[in-house]
Structures are given as structure tokens and as C-alpha cells.
Structure 1
Amino acid sequence: MLIEKYCNVCGSELSLNIPLEDYTFHRILTCNPAMMSQIETIHKISNSSAPVVITGETGTGKELYAEYIHHVSVRQKEKYAKVNCATIPENLFESEMFGYMPGAFTGALKTGKKGIFEIADQGTLFLDEISELSQGLQSKLLRVIQENRFVKVGGSTEITCDVRLIAASNKELQEMVKENAFRKDLFYRLNVVPICLLPLRERREDIILLSFYFLNLFNQTYGTDKKMGVNLMKAFLDYQWPGNVRELRNTVERLILLSDGETLNDERILQATLETETLFLLNDSNVDEFTPARVRAVNPNHSSKSLKEIVAEYELFIIEEYIKKTGSMRKAAAALKTSPSVLSRKLNNRK
């Protein structure tokens, strides 16, 4: 059994019998053979600037893998920029990605603005949720990738750029190509090195490693000393984790906050926790996913922020989680009963 392989059993408690640092790659933690093979692939391409496409279900860690690709590459000392394609309104895409000249449009900065491609020049650009781009925006992106140059909004001079592109999607881009929902030429231009991340349910050994990692993390965060229970780990290994690593993280945090005993073995709380998590994944109106964030917000021992800052932070958290869960800015706005432009403005004002 996996528990006996990776853990020491002492009564009803478990302790990990392997060092986490041996299976930590920057911010990635895995001992699964298939995932380790993807790590090897990343190292093999570290000296190249080949585009990479990362696919995997929501919550599998696509952004962490993108960061790792940059971290081990020859561009590691250069800029790493990331864009969630689902959060950029179509009418703002060119000004955000390519920048604009002074006075290019009403409301434009007098100094003009650099676009993401210019900011990421010589570095790495991570395009998350690339499947959410419309066909028209895909065409504009393809031109820049093919020619390595672009023109700012309101400008006439072509600017050259040299960026290493990493794209990610929780949808099967190849299937979208067959359905004419994603441009074939853009797909093949990007899909030089494909990285496919397994869902957590298909890498059970990682459930054990990640559970102990999050246990240690949140014990430090909340000043507790909770222990991992045998029954809890068995339940974790039997569960399907539709929300993947993100759901596991939230579950461990919630259990640490709600469990009264020192050993996390309360099956009643565990069942309620997993049921709540699953409900959220199936129902956009369920916001129990955000319980840990609410706890942090009202805990004076872990925050010196003002009420306005806490509310703004929590608001951004909700917006970002809805976009991740629904898959697009438009669907998130509909679920939250507001407009995509309102969500976009709030996200753009975070800095």
C-alpha cells in the first residue's frame, strides 16, 4: 500500500518517511514517475527558446510548471510575465499586449504604455487559458509569434521582440482545433513541446506528499501542531479530487481550522469538508471554497491590513476563483451578476 511505502505508522498517526526536499523542484512537489518525466523534459529544453503548451485540469499546477520552465531556462535572469487570456476584454487586447502611443485613444496615458510583449522582451511570457481567446485575437497573436514584431496601438513603427512563449489551457486544444474553435496554425506554432499534467487522482503518491506539505505549511501559518491521521489519509487516497491540488490545499487548511483534536482523523468534519468542496465545483453559487480566505481576513493575528485592503483582497480572490471555476471572464461575470468590464477593471487595478 502507498501509506506503508511513504509513511511511518504510529497508532492512529502518520509521519512521512521520505524528505520532501528530494522531490521538490522550485515550487513543484511530485514523486509520480509520469510527472518526474515531465520535469526531465523541462530540463532537456532549458537551453532552447521553443514554445511550450501545458495542458491539464483546473488546479493541477500549470502556472507552477510555467514558472519552473522559466526558472531553469537560459532566460531565468530576464523578465517573466504572465497573462490570463480569459481576463482581457477583446477591445483591450491590443493595448494590453502590444502597448499604445501617447494619446492613442481617449483616456490613454500621456506617456503611452508598454505592452506585455515589450515588457517580456528577452524573457518568458506565460499565456494562461489561451483557449479563451477569440479567433480574431488568436490571429493577432499568431502574427506576432511568426514575425517577432508588433506595432503599438496608435503607432506606425514596428517593434521587434524576443520572448519565449508558454501557453496553458485546461481544455484539449487539439480537440478545439478539430471543432474549429482554435486556429490550427496557432496550435502547431505553439505546440512544439507539449507538457500534459496528470490530475491528482491519477498520481496517488503525490496526494501523500502534498498532504504533508500543506499540513506543515498551515501548521506554521496558524501556529498549530496538527498530526496526519491514518483514517484521513485513507480517505484522501479514496477521494477523486475533482479540484486537484488546489482542492487538496483548501481541504487541509480547512481541516486544520475546524478539527479540535491534535490528530486530523475526524471523519465527520472530513466528509463535510469534501462534500462542501465538491458542491462548489459543481455549483457556481456555492462560495464555501472561500472559507479559508474569510478566516484569514478576520484573524487579527495574521493581518495588519486595513478593512478596505482586506475587502479588496477578498474581492479579487473571489473574482479570480470564479474565472478559474467557470473558465472565462464572461461566465464569471454572469455568475457574479455583474459585467465583464467591471471584473476586468478590478483585476487591472490590483497594482
Structure 2
Amino acid sequence: MLTRTLPAGLLLASALTLPVGAQTAWPVTLSNCGVDLSFAKAPESAVTVGQAATEILYSLGLADKVAGTSVWFTEVLPQFQMENAGIERLADNDPSFESVAALRPGIVTVQYEWHVGPQGIVATREQFADLGIPVYTLPSDCTGKDNTKGSDGTRSSMYSMDSIYQGVIELGRIFDVADKGTALVNELRSREAKAIEKAKALDLKDGSAVFWFSSAEMDIDPYVAGRKGPPGYMMQALGIRNIIESDEEWPVVSWETIARANPSVIVLARMDRRRFEADDHEKKIAFLKSDPVTSQMDAVKHDRLIVLDAHAMDPSIRNIDALETLAEALPKLDLK
């Protein structure tokens, strides 16, 4: 019988009061994106489907437990290059169910339900459960979000770093490194608060922005950040208005609509992935400056373009890096 799971806020509050070196009480039981999980002991190995899940495990000192990784947008964080180089990469993008299952991991950690979920393109949870392999999905992809609407899901409430912190704390408990989870969350919270304080001091009441992730074709409507996902959270936290009003995670919006809104700043995703031509941020910049519509926007005319790590636009621990990058760049753009 599974115990009643604490709400995310209470879970974090209780976790952050744990003494250093506290031992995990077994079994670990929790509800993960609507699915009850129970662990009698720490998993011996993991396969990750999603860069965010990979880098959380690395940050918890669990690289030696990771048997394989997949779904990469950018290079791994510099501090983990050595560990990551020795771990099998099953796929740069979507791995096959067979390649994940073949490693017989003790757990599969997932960034997005559209990879492993009710209609998962890699597999469903049930397919892994049939093999005795539990699946843990980062709460950031299901907290306040409906993954049945829109290609990338639709958010019913504003994204919060608390959902990432919950994932860190829960994975720390599952792998019996709860003290490392607590320490990591404390560090990230401190950095988050400092970045927000720095940007708030600018008092950017009239600043606005759009985050351009990519486009299926260079000259067609782009994928931009909806108002309630991680970029929406960043803009709200830093005192900037998001010109996009959709609740979809990454809606497609016409350049004509964006140009009419005339954002003060355009934030461009930089990534190593090359699924689309517009994955290349230098090609994004060239398009903005040459297209007859986009070239007339104030952000383009005045070179108010900020290049940001693409993975930092997704729910991940890199959201803090993004906040710091934006807080550092905004004072140089003369937005007042």
C-alpha cells in the first residue's frame, strides 16, 4: 500500500529541513505524474530520456549509475563532460524502446511525457512496467500542464522552479542521496533569488520580449514560448512582458503577429541539434535582419537580440543559468 504523497510545497519544505547525511527511509513511495511508484531500495542503474533528467542525475553525483542517455539539445554542462563521455548515448534525439530496455535499467528517468507516457513515441509506462522497469517523469512536465492539448502540451498555471526542485528532491530520495538533493536545491534557490533581485532593480516596466526556439522551415511561422512555460516564468520574474498570450508550451505564431507586437527584445535559442535549419542561431539572426517583416522590428533595428542556451528554455536546472544570463544582458540593452 502506497502512503499518501505530500504536495510539492510541503515535500520541499520537509526535505530542506533534513539533517545532512540523513538516511532514506525505505520503501520510498510517491505519486509521479499521477502514477504511484514504490522503491524498496535505490536503483542500481538508470537510463535517461531527456537531457534535463540526465543533468539532474549528474548534479546529484549519480553519473556512475547512468547506463545510457538520449534526447540532447546542447552539449552537456562543462563540469560533466568527462563523466558523460564514458556513458553510452543511445540517441541524440528519440531512442527506441528496444535500445532502452536492452540495458535493463533499474529506472528510466524521463523529461517529457510525449516520449514516455500515455501516447509516448518511445514507449508507454506500461511497456516498461511489463519488464519490471519503473519510469520516473520530471514533475515539471505534468505539474499545471495538460499534455493532451497542443503538440508540446498546454499549461494551466505558470511554470515554477518548484517543479524542478521537486524532481531533484525526489530523485535524491529514490537514489538514497537525499542530502545532495537538498544541497543542490538550496544552491539553485539562492542563485534564482539573486538573479531576480538584479533584474527587478532595473524596473523594466515597458520591456517586452519573445523567445524564438526554432522553426520547421526558415521562412515560416516560428515556434515561440507561450506565456506560462519556463520562458514565461523568466520574463515574469525579471519584470518583462511576454508578447505571446497562448498557454501552449511552444505555439506557432506568425512573424506578422510578432512584428505588430514589436517586442523590445528577441531571445534566440542556441543549440547543437540540427533537426531544423532554424536550430542554428546564426541563421536565425541572418533571417531577422534580412526578412522584410522582421527587419522592421525595434529589437532587430537596435540589435536587442539575446542568444540563450536552448535547453535553458526547457524545464531544467539550466533555467537558473538562463535567469542569470538574462539578468546580466538586460542592463546593456537600454530598455528604459
TM-score by length of 2: 0.32
Structure possessing the higher radius of gyration over alpha carbons: 1
* Structure with more helix by fraction: 1
